[in-house]
Structure 1
Amino acid sequence: MTSEALHAEPGLPAAMTIPALLVLRAEECGEQIAVRAGPVAVSYRELLVRAASMAEALHAQGVRAGDRVAALLDNRVELVDLFLGCSWLGAVVVPLNVALRGEGLRHVLVESGARRLLTEPRYAAQVEATRFAGVCWLVGSDTAPRVDSAMTDPPRDPASVTDLDLAAVLFTSGTTGLPKGVRCPHAQFLWWGGGVGRSLGLRAGDVLYNCLPLFHTNALGTLFQALVWRGTFILGERFSASGYWSAVQESGATVTYLLGAMVPMLMNRPPSPSERAHRVTRALSPATPAHLYEPFRKRFGIDLIDGFGTTETNLVLGSLPGRRRDGFIGTVMDGYEAGVVDQDRPVADGVPGELLVRSLRRGGFAAGYLGDAVPAEGAWLRTGDRVIRGPDGWFRYVDRLKDVIRRRGENISATEVESVLSRHPHVAQVAVFPVPSELAEDEVMAAIVPREAAVLDPADLLRFAEADLAYFALPRYVDLVTRLPLTETGKVRKQELRARGVGPDTWDAQRQGFRPTRTR
């Protein structure tokens, strides 16, 4: 593929760096609002000046190109300033999950190599408990680096960074172990903005509302979608199912972003006038169960759009406007390749296997994990995800390899069981996971959040599921709970559910004498 074809995204700078993008957009878009966070609205011209001003303030505090600066901040404009200021200076920003504390927080601070940290008073005790040996700045304090709002021109020129220089280290959520630091180069963020924007059908002037935490790829990617496509990024404070549609309406958004449990949570809310009093027509919503697409579209007037990309990669699989299939991830996007294997051997179309991906774009993927060798440009990456590729090239997500449950000699997809159980009219949310069996394999357990005011009988739920699940995939254990433990980005903490396991109030199909109507 030619370099011209790979640069087909709208108006990407030749240098493929964040400072180059800021300079280009400041020239083109001037006073158009680029970012709004709470009461603060920043034009494209001001965004460039703020980046340079923050770079100057960081430099005055001793930060130099290549240094790593951590942030433990909520969704606020100071995190945008720090990210872009570090990029302008040639430093590397390390945005951290605000839920981290204790050993988890200490681990990421040590692993990142950051010697400076910007946080806010509410998280100061968490940082102090780690005995962080570096400099800790508190937002709003006299010693913290900050933007000089009186500046009208950039106080310093951008550093001579390249597309492959690191812009950020992002830590994975660590739902099954300690978080791993992903080395993300400048070009990766620009490719994120271009590719996802193309999938969403973005146009100049689109308003993108995202209330997911800004330490996560999803929200950071939204910032760059706005910058690449000449739109406006609205940084929401946090997700609230009860207040979501009011926030979306007030933002004036035309596009929004959902993740994890957010779709079923919104579907479970009682109807309200605000849920249709908005301008949003489409939402990026990875891993949404296929049966929720049409009900969500009918109720809220929004098309849900799936795709496959991770912190380590980019939008490798996706779809384009006018070419979508509910419940499918999509096809291979330009500039990437994908394969499906079992034990490193390619599988036939229609057969589940692990997804392997690689980038044909320079800097399209991350440069591996902290502590590991930098992978060769264009190297294949194991995703740990099971997918099915159809003969027509469309991919469907199956599950994580680690979520496969082994029971009675059969492999069971937790995702498939969740999909079936979630279609029961009284189920709001569901998580399926393995627990130990007396037979040295797994038993299937489901944690269920019933719909509001619904009375859910576990035996009735299993009878409902029998039509679509093999007998061995039916859960033996069912817990009815008021909520599922979620990460800051809406993923279910299955490790916590597995550790909790079978409790005194858990419904046990075996003890209750439940018998499947089919046993083969």
Structure 2
Amino acid sequence: MTLAATPSLQLAVQAARFAEHPLFILPQAVADLWGAGRTHWTYAEALAEVLRLRMSYAAAGYGPGHRVALLLENRPEHFFHWLALNGLGVAIVPINPDATPDEIAYLIGHSGAVLAVALPSRLAQMQGHGVPAITDDAAPPAAPGPAGTMPEPGTGECALIYTSGTTGKPKGCILSDLYFMQWGAWYAAQPAPIALREGAERLMTPLPAFHVNAMGNSFMGMLATGGAQVIIDRFHPRSWWDMARETGATCFHYLGVMPAILLAIPPGSGDRDHALRFGLGGGVHADHHAAFEDRFGVPLLEGWAMTETGGACILSAVAEPRNVGTRCLGRPDRPGPAMDYRLIDDQGLDVSPGIPGELVVRAWGDDPRRGLFSGYLNDPAATDAIWQGGWLHTGDIMRQGPDGALHFMDRKKNIIRRSGENIAALEVEGILNTHPQVAQVAVVAADDPLRGEEVMAVVVPKPGVDEAAVARALVDHAAGRLAYYKVPGFVVFRDALPVTSTQKVRKADLGGLTENPLADPRCHDLRAEKQALRKVRSETSH
């Protein structure tokens, strides 16, 4: 395995070694949906397209110091434009296709992007935000200002990816070339059952390209080893195994919701008729883990990482015993980029084995930040807050078992993790508080066996309202201002919220409600309406 300094250089290295091997594969149904006209792109073809785009951007004056926003869904075009711009030292800002106009305006404005590139069907979403917006097949306009000096290989900014925090607005994580290369280094170093075979693997993922999983973990793992990324537009449970067989997929990435849905489909003769060697992901329900492996014959390797940690500090239960069904994340002394870790209490002191504590991490060696994120854009206070005492504070509570493996317990952060999406509760609260029939609201995570967690709004309404009508009105109110997945799936009414002496809501006192919201007579289950909203938006976008 040969690792270069940047993703774009890595493509050139691998195109010389695996020129006729596929880099991207689409199932035929996905190719038809996208009108792609083809299902495979070889390394040589990908490099040729990247070089063509790079020449076009270079001729228009783009270079270091510029950022370009991309709304290209999960398609190969996202990766072509990314690698073309990376070769010029330009950072990209991936945009969630489900983002609302207000959310897109914030991302473009906060990031300082100078250009927006979108699919023709998505162009309207990127227009009107103060920067030129073009389709992915158009020549870029002249850059608005001169580019800076090309940085040393590996040190430049590669991407700016936004992640929800405990504040209302998303924070922009500055991610370097080294950050992305560390993902590939980690994946290539893993033993069996991963043990990637150079030039032979095909990783199937329906996860979005605007997240670091598909861009970093999946793609860089394949690029580092000459493998192929099998791209699916979204998770299709009933055709999942057919797509795996059609594309020759050898591994896949998952979110916890996916095994649950696949298990709900009646057993069939083709359940084990596939070439998948392992699945890598996180959040599989304890009751589903062993059942999935027994039925489909594929080990699900639970893992953990953050946008902030990348491949420099990542956990995965690869080696036995994997402690299936316990949210075991494996031993921290795993192969790959060397990391250091501690489990600490609220006073910053190490906890004893078996006692839950917050996970704090850093890279091993003289530079604790090597390969991790480079900081939050325009927010040094938040960067300093997550880096305390030379350790990155993850906000995740874990315990260490007698075999040294870490087990995920809970999160300290006020974050709702729904089907892999991180949702800031304060952002949703800010929107719901603007509704005229809301006196007070607290947004928390409710347990959901399918999606891990669901957004739940606990509302104190204005006097004399129809609670059922208000619950549905709040969904409509939020849907017009937030991406569909942030909209409440449960709305529960209360006469008052528990508060501290300073009138801050004590969300911890809502714990019993979050475990089983449907047991409360004033709970309104709006998950079906929420899913219908997703379907409407998906059909509208296409």
TM-score class, shorter-chain normalisation, is: 0.7 to 0.9
SS at match of 1:398: strand
Counterparts of 1:330 and 1:386 in 2: how far apart (Å)? 15
Question: Are the counterparts in 1 of residues 56 and 139 from structure 2 also a CA contact under 8 Å?
Answer: no
2:377 alignment counterpart: 370
Counterparts of 1:320 and 1:478 in 2: how far apart (Å)? 41
Quote the RMSD (CA, aligned, Å): 3.4
TM-superposed CA distance for 1:349, in Å, is: 1.5
SS at match of 2:158: strand
Normalised to the residue count of structure 1, the TM-score between the two structures is: 0.73
Question: Where in structure 2 are the equivalents of 1:286-301 lying within 5 Å?
Answer: 286-301=282-297
TM-superposed CA distance for 1:44, in Å, is: 2.1
Aligned with 1:181 (options 168, 172, 180): 172
2:135 aligned with 1:138, yes or no? yes
Counterparts of 1:484 and 1:330 in 2: how far apart (Å)? 38
Question: Are the counterparts in 1 of residues 319 and 330 from structure 2 also a CA contact under 8 Å?
Answer: no
Normalised to the residue count of structure 2, the TM-score between the two structures is: 0.70
TM-superposed CA distance for 1:372, in Å, is: 3.1
Counterparts of 2:123 and 2:261 in 1: how far apart (Å)? 32
2:163 alignment counterpart: 172
2:339 aligned with 1:336, yes or no? yes
2:125 alignment counterpart: 126
2:80 aligned with 1:85, yes or no? no
2:513 alignment counterpart: 445
1:156 alignment counterpart: none
* Paired residue type of 1:238: R
Counterparts of 1:404 and 1:429 in 2: how far apart (Å)? 12
* Paired residue type of 1:203: R
Question: Where in structure 2 are the equivalents of 1:23-422 lying within 5 Å?
Answer: 23-37=12-26, 38=31, 39-128=38-127, 131-140=128-137, 142-143=138-139, 161-173=152-164, 177-199=168-190, 200-204=194-198, 205-220=200-215, 221-315=217-311, 316-322=314-320, 324-326=322-324, 327-332=327-332, 333-334=334-335, 335-343=338-346, 344-360=348-364, 363-373=370-380, 379-402=390-413, 418=447, 422=449
Post-superposition Cα deviations, 1:139-178, rounded to whole Å, max 9, x if no partner, equal: 34x4459xxxxxxxxxxxxx66421211111111569732
Post-superposition Cα deviations, 1:43-93, rounded to whole Å, max 9, x if no partner, equal: 223333322221111112331223111101211121110111011111111
Question: Are the counterparts in 1 of residues 67 and 113 from structure 2 also a CA contact under 8 Å?
Answer: yes
* Paired residue type of 2:513: M
* Paired residue type of 2:2: G
2:419 alignment counterpart: none
Counterparts of 2:171 and 2:212 in 1: how far apart (Å)? 14
1:22 alignment counterpart: 11
TM-superposed CA distance for 1:305, in Å, is: 0.6
SS at match of 2:408: strand
Seen in structure 2, the aligned counterparts of structure 1 residues 121 and 208 have a Cα distance that, compared at 3 Å, is same
Counterparts of 1:371 and 1:319 in 2: how far apart (Å)? 36
Counterparts of 2:205 and 2:415 in 1: how far apart (Å)? 32
Post-superposition Cα deviations, 1:420-477, rounded to whole Å, max 9, x if no partner, equal: x84xxxx89764868466554533335889xxxxxxxx67xxxxxxxxxxxxxxx897
Counterparts of 1:134 and 1:191 in 2: how far apart (Å)? 32
Seen in structure 2, the aligned counterparts of structure 1 residues 98 and 477 have a Cα distance that, compared at 3 Å, is same
Seen in structure 2, the aligned counterparts of structure 1 residues 481 and 244 have a Cα distance that, compared at 3 Å, is farther
Counterparts of 2:406 and 2:529 in 1: how far apart (Å)? 28
SS at match of 2:237: coil
Question: Are the counterparts in 2 of residues 117 and 135 from structure 1 also a CA contact under 8 Å?
Answer: yes
Post-superposition Cα deviations, 1:471-499, rounded to whole Å, max 9, x if no partner, equal: xxxx897665654958x99xxxxxxxxxx
Seen in structure 2, the aligned counterparts of structure 1 residues 386 and 264 have a Cα distance that, compared at 3 Å, is same
Structure 2 gap ranges (5+): 32-37, 142-149, 417-443, 459-493, 500-505, 535-542
Counterparts of 1:433 and 1:313 in 2: how far apart (Å)? 28
